[in-house]
């Protein structure tokens, strides 16, 4: 045993300290940041291995007889997060980074199992803010039951980034027989939406523009894999699931229409929008159909099964306001059309340009 | 009442003006008032009306023999290329921070440029062009960057003019040395005159106007009287909600059927005959008529735009930087001019929806959401 006394390492100053270039240099400072912040809050057996990557068990799924067998198919997805501001009503970049990737995996019909997280930090970023983000991220991950099993940290010079960017990747496992894809919508199918739209985008926008309202708009950021599991458990013929993030419901439905070579006809009156969101949208000249959501999903479902799926959605806390908002129709132009509340018809086009940059 | 609460209450009145039941009622009245033996054509002057008509599918609720003709009331659309070039020049040659409303950024300028492209290349020899939501944002940018020249690219009709006058006065009061305004504000009545005065026998006959909403809150309803007396055209000032537009159409129909040509006000909840006197006084104090101004599509029109008075010359970017206006012809294939005069429809343009799309606009009418081409492309192109 060495007689040399272990040198004293002053703990990270999480109150007044700031990110320094050394925190990304690969040396002791980085090891300390990882140990005292990331590893401490994300703590789990895979991360504790402390190696360059996580060694994970082969996931198992139940076969037709209910016997667990090695999974035949995995789903992997990744999502970068650059939202500004970093903290907003209803969440922050940390919880968003967890929910965003879990939802991408869940929209494939998979059960998300593990996440990776990579941080790009700007020199000078307050460690207190970083700690707040990591704590929130760890909590979101714990609540979702999807651990962060590996990660990375880089630091760039001041002015080369905006505080913190977080990229997460997720791996999930697909049960046998589940095949969801944007190319499976067929004329006659119905379009279901899990709740009111535009809350995330408008929460960010209101925070950015310092808009004050009687009741603040709260981001809907949430992990949707539980809702998806409940929907899939019905055994209904669900053709496709998508979370309408950037570009909103309008853009997501256009993607599906193009992929499937179909058209859609929506009913504006059936699309739930909170009055506060409708109000801010009006104020800023935006259409809620194009505003980002982070805790909503769209489902294209065979007409015969739609009521059953809708009932299950409404029974779930994240789908209480689920609604049938339209149907899939034959259209060689792949237009998404909508009967307006007024009683006319119009196209709901792809998002044009980017009225709301850095929303997620 | 606290301000935030007030705003929230104001914003509640949205659904009331988009109600389907009311719409059906007005549509039925319009159908009854429409004589089957003739055609009707009304021009909605404002892009705000064009947008409301398209977004809410108002056309579907109108009879076949009643046509809405889109007017030139889209601030971005009527700005000629030469003016965009000047704004780009301010950023590129004079190194100024140019603050612009977002709509302007994508308008094609000379040499394949746009303010968006110039801005994207800022670190590689491009210019510092920033998007602002208000004139006040531009003033703040100047205060935040005392070492830089900051120019507010002021565009729009009478609606956006008073805030421009306010920031010029504020800049004068603060003694700001690094702030100026590139004033491209235009006026509504001269454009309406021009449209009526230059009508050719082959052009579609306009039976009346849906008059501006927000512009009229500033100038009032009185300035339109001449269109009734001189041109015998009814004008109904209408709000920007779809039911406002439908009610105005019904009022226009009744006037036409009864042989009346009057100025009526559907938008009484916001517009008075005399308008906003305070705003008018502010404009008159800081700004004055230009002898002439070139509009896209409508050409050079006398007394149709505003410039900064000599008392405030130090805040006039054109004077401060010695800018000169240069006429730049529109793209030959682009029909924006005829569309802005209400002579052609977007779908009459050979490049509509093919070469010219919102993603890659050739003409200005495809840029702003208030532009006739963008509105038709985004909301109504399945019809054509």
Is the torsion defined by CA of A60, A310, A107, A331 positive or negative? positive
Provide ipTM, 2 decimals: 0.84
pLDDT of residue A304: 98
% of chain B residues with pLDDT over 70 = 97
- Note the pLDDT of residue A10: 86
Cβ(A302)–Cβ(A189) below 8 Å: yes
In this complex, which of A279, A339, A343 lies closest to B14 when CB atoms are compared?
A: A279
Whether B61 and A340 lie within 8 Å, measured CB to CB: no
Long-range contacts of A59-68 (CB under 8 A, 24+ apart): A59/A113, A59/A173, A61/A173, A61/A174, A61/A175, A61/A176, A62/A175, A62/A176, A63/A176, A64/A176
Rounded to whole angstroms, how far apart are CA atoms B379 and B364? 17
B60 and A345 within 8 Å at the Cβ level: the answer is: yes
3-state secondary structure (DSSP) of residue A228: helix
Give CA–CA dist B189/B196, Å, rounded.
Answer: 11
Q: Is the pLDDT of residue B171 over 80?
A: yes
Q: Which residues pair with B42 in a beta bridge?
A: B68, B208
pLDDT at A356: 66
CB atoms within 10 A of CB B241: 24
Chain B residues with CB within 8 Å of chain A CB: 3-5, 7-8, 11-12, 14-15, 18-20, 23-24, 27, 54-61, 102, 106, 133, 242-243, 358-359, 369, 374, 377-382
Structure tokens at A230: 């409940």
* Three-class DSSP category at A128: helix
> With contact defined as beta carbons under 8 Å apart, do B241 and B272 qualify?
no
**CA-nearest residue of chain B to A334?**
B382
From A215, A282, A343, residue closest to B14, measured CB to CB: A282
Beta bridge partners of A191: A300, A326
Q: Which two tokens stand for residue B204?
A: 């579609």
pTM of the model: 0.89
CB-CB: which of B102, B243, B379 is closest to A347? B379
> What is the Cα–Cα distance from B81 to B87, expressed in whole angstroms?
10
Hey, of B5, B8, B19, B62, which one would you mutate to test binding to chain A, going by the most A CBs within 10 A of its CB? B8
Q: Which of A275, A343, A347 sits opposite B61 (nearest CB)?
A: A343
Measure the CA–CA gap between B336 and B341, rounded to whole angstroms: 9
B227-239: pLDDT as tens digits = 999 999 999 999 9
A305: three-class secondary structure by DSSP: helix
Chain A residues with CB-CB distance to B381 below 8 A: 347
3-state secondary structure of A327: strand
- What one-character DSSP code corresponds to residue A59? P
Angle at A135 between CA A129 and CA A140, to 5 degrees: 125
Chain A residues touching B106 at Cβ < 8 A: 353
Which of B226, B230, B249 lies closest to B239, judged by CA? B249
Which of B27, B243, B378 faces A347 most closely, judged by CB atoms? B378
Average pLDDT on B346-351 reads 95
Average pLDDT over residues B118-131: 89
Q: Which of A263, A344, A349, A358 to mutate to test the interface with B (most CBs of B within 10 A)?
A: A344
Provide the token pair at B116: 């968006």
Average pLDDT, chain A: 94
> Exposure pattern of B146-168 as b/e (b: 16+ CB <10 Å)?
eeebbbbbbbbbbbbbbbbbbbb
Question: What is the per-residue pLDDT across A182-213, written as a single tens digit (0 to 9) for each?
Answer: 999 999 999 999 999 999 999 998 888 777 66
CB contact under 8 A, B243 and A353: no
- CB burial of B115-129 (b: ≥16 within 10 Å; e: otherwise) equals bbbbbeeeeeebbbb
Burial class (CB in 10 A: 0-12, 13-18, 19+), A224: buried
Residue A276 and residue B133: Cβ atoms within 8 Å?
no
Q: What is the pLDDT of residues B266-321, one digit of tens each?
A: 999 999 999 999 999 999 999 999 999 999 989 999 999 999 999 999 999 999 99
Q: Cα separation of B92 and B118, whole Å?
A: 8
pLDDT for A214 equals 64
Three-state SS string over chain B comes to: CCHHHHHHHHCCCCHHHHCHHHHHHHHHHHHHHCCCCCCEEEEEEEHHHHHHHHHCCHHHHCCCCEEEEEEEECCCCCCCHHHHHHHHHHHHCCCCEEEEEHHHHHCCCHHHCCHHHHHHCHHHCCCCEEEECCHHHHHHHHHHCCCCCEEEEEEECCCCHHHHHHHHHHHHHHCCCCEEEEEEEECHHHHHHHHHHCCCCCCCCCCEEEECCHHHHHHCCHHHHHHHHCCCCCEEECCCCHHHHHHHHHHHHHHHHCCCCCEEECCCCCCCCCCCHHHHHHHHHHEEECCEEEECCCEEEECCEEEECHHHHHHEHHHHCCCCCCCCCCCCCCCHHHHHCCCCCHHHCCCECCCECCCCCCCHHHCCCCCHHHHHHHHHHHHC
Q: Residue A1: is its pLDDT beyond 70?
A: no
pLDDT tens, B61-92?
Answer: 999 999 999 999 999 999 999 999 999 999 99
Interval B6-61: pLDDT, tens: 344 445 667 888 999 999 999 999 999 999 999 999 999 999 999 999 999 999 99
Domains recognised in chain B with CATH numbers: 81-188+275-320 (3.40.50.11740)
Sheet holding A74-81, edge to edge: A74-81, A164-173, A111-122, A148-156
Collect all residues of chain B within an 8 Å Cβ-Cβ radius of residue A343.
20, 23-24, 27, 57, 60-61
Query: Tell me: the pLDDT tens digits for B244-262?
Result: 999 999 999 999 999 999 9
Mean local confidence (pLDDT), A124-130: 97
User: pLDDT tens digits for B197-219?
Assistant: 999 999 999 999 999 999 999 99
Best probe of the B interface among A267, A331, A346, A347, by most B CBs < 10 A, is: A346
* Chain A residues within 8 A of B62 when measuring between CB atoms: none
Using pLDDT thresholds of 50, 70 and 90, give the confidence band for residue A248.
very high
A346 and chain B in contact, CB less than 8 A: yes
For A37-47, write each residue's pLDDT tens digit: 999 999 999 99
Q: Is the pLDDT of residue A92 over 70?
A: yes
Structural domains for chain A? 21-173 (3.30.1330.10), 190-347 (3.90.650.10)
Residue A4: what pLDDT?
60
């Amino acid at each position: 045993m060495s007689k040399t006394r272990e040198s004293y390492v002053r703990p990270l100053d999480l109150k007044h300290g700031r990110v320094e270039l050394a925190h990304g240099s690969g040396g002791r400072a980085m090891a300390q940041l990882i140990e005292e912040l990331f590893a401490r809050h994300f703590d789990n057996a895979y991360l504790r291995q402390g190696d360059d990557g996580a060694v994970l068990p082969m996931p198992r799924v139940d076969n037709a007889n209910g016997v667990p067998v090695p999974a035949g198919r995995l789903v992997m997805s990744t999502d970068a997060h650059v939202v500004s501001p970093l903290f907003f009503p209803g969440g922050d970049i940390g919880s968003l980074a967890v929910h965003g990737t879990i939802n991408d995996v869940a929209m494939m019909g998979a059960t998300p199992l593990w996440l990776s997280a990579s941080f790009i930090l700007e020199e000078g970023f307050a460690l207190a803010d970083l700690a707040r983000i990591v704590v929130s991220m760890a909590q979101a991950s714990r609540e979702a039951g999807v651990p962060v099993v590996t990660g990375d940290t880089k630091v760039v010079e001041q002015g080369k980034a905006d505080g913190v960017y977080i990229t997460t990747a997720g791996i999930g496992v697909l049960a046998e027989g589940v095949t969801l894809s944007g190319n499976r919508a067929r004329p006659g199918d119905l379009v279901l939406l899990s709740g009111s739209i535009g809350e995330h985008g408008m929460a960010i926008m209101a925070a950015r523009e310092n808009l004050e309202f009687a009741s603040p708009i709260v981001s809907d950021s949430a992990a949707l894999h539980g809702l998806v599991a409940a929907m899939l458990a019905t055994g209904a013929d669900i053709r496709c699931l998508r979370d309408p993030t950037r570009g909103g419901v309008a853009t997501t439905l256009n993607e599906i229409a193009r992929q499937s070579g179909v058209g859609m006809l929506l009913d504006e009156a059936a699309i739930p929008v909170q009055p506060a969101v409708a109000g801010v949208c009006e104020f800023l000249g935006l259409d809620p159909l194009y505003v980002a959501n982070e805790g909503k999903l769209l489902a294209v479902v065979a007409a015969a099964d739609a009521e059953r799926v809708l009932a299950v959605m409404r029974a779930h806390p994240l789908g209480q306001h689920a609604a049938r908002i339209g149907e899939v129709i034959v259209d060689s132009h792949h237009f998404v059309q909508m009967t307006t509340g007024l009683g006319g018809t119009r196209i709901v086009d792809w998002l044009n340009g980017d009225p709301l940059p850095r929303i997620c | 009442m606290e301000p935030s609460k007030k705003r929230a209450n104001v914003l509640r009145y949205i659904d009331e003006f988009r109600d389907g039941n009311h719409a059906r009622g007005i549509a039925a009245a319009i159908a009854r008032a429409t004589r089957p033996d003739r055609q009707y054509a009304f021009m909605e002057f404002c892009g705000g009306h064009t947008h409301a008509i398209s977004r809410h599918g108002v056309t579907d609720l109108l009879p076949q023999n009643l046509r809405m003709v889109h007017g030139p009331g889209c601030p971005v659309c009527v700005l000629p290329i030469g003016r965009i070039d000047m704004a780009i020049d301010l950023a590129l040659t004079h190194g100024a921070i140019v603050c612009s409303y977002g709509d302007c950024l994508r308008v094609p300028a000379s040499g394949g440029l746009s303010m968006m492209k110039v801005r994207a290349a800022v670190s590689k020899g491009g210019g510092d062009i920033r998007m602002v939501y208000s004139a006040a944002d531009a003033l703040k940018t100047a205060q935040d960057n005392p070492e830089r020249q900051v120019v507010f690219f002021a565009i729009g009709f009478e609606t956006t003019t008073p805030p421009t006058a306010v920031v010029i006065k504020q800049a004068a009061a603060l003694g700001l040395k690094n702030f100026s305004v590139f004033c491209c504000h235009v006026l509504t009545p001269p454009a309406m005159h021009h449209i009526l005065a230059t009508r050719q026998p082959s052009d579609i006959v306009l039976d009346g106007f849906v008059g501006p909403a927000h512009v009229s809150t500033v100038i009032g309803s009185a300035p339109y009287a001449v269109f009734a007396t001189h041109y015998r055209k009814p004008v109904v000032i209408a709000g920007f909600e779809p039911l406002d537009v439908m009610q105005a159409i019904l009022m226009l129909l009744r006037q036409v059927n009864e042989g009346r040509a009057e100025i009526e006000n559907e938008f009484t909840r916001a517009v008075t005959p005399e308008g906003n006197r305070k705003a008018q006084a502010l404009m008159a104090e800081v700004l004055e008529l230009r002898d002439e101004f070139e509009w896209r599509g409508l050409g050079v029109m006398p007394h149709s735009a505003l410039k900064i008075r000599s008392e405030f010359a130090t805040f006039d970017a054109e004077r401060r930087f010695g800018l000169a206006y240069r006429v730049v012809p529109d793209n030959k294939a682009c029909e924006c001019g005829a569309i802005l005069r209400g002579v052609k429809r977007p779908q009459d343009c050979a490049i509509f929806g093919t070469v010219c799309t919102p993603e890659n606009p050739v003409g200005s009418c495809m840029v702003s959401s208030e532009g006739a081409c963008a509105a038709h492309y985004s909301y109504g192109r399945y019809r054509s």
